[in-house]
Amino acid sequence: AVEKKAELGRAGWTLIHTTAATLPTPLTPAARDGVVALLRAVAQTYPCKECREHFASFIAVHPIDIESRDSILQWTCIAHNAVNARQHKPAYPCGDIKALDARWGDCGC
C-alpha cells in the first residue's frame, strides 16, 4: 500500500513536471490556461486526500507563477519541494533551469 502511494506520487509528478517542461516558449495563453487547469484539477482530484489538501493549500498560499514556461516549471519544482520537506527528503535545486530541463524536458515525443 505504501508502494502504491509512492507509485501514484511519481506518476503525478512525472505528468506535472513533464507538462510544465514541455510548455511552449514563448508561452501562449492557451498553454498557460491548460497547465493551470491541470494543476487545479490535480488539487481537486488527487486520490490521496492529505496530499491534495496540502497541494490545494500550497496553490492558495503560493499562486502558480504563470509568467513564463520557466516560471511555471520552477513553480512545480517548489511545490514538489514542499512535499519533499514534509518527507525529510533533500530539496531539488529549483533555481537551476538546466537541471530541471535535463530531468523533465524530454518527453520522447
Residues that bind ligand FAD (CB under 6 A): 6, 9-10, 12-13, 17, 42, 46, 50-51, 54-55, 77, 80-81, 83-84, 86-87, 92, 103
Closest CB to a copy of itself among 14 and 84? 14
Residue 18 binds a copy of itself, judged by CB under 8 A: yes
Least spacing, CB of residue 31 vs a copy of itself, in Å: 7
Residue 30 touches which of ligand FAD, a copy of itself, none (Cβ within 5-8 Å per kind): a copy of itself
Residue 85 binds a copy of itself, judged by CB under 8 A: no
Written as one letter, the residue type at 25 is T
- C-alpha cell of residue 85: 520537506
CB 105 within 8 A of CB 19: no
For helices 49-61 and 29-45, angle between their N-to-C axes, nearest 10 degrees = 140
- C-alpha cell of residue 65: 507563477
Please give the span between the terminal C-alpha atoms of the chain, in angstroms, as a whole number: 32
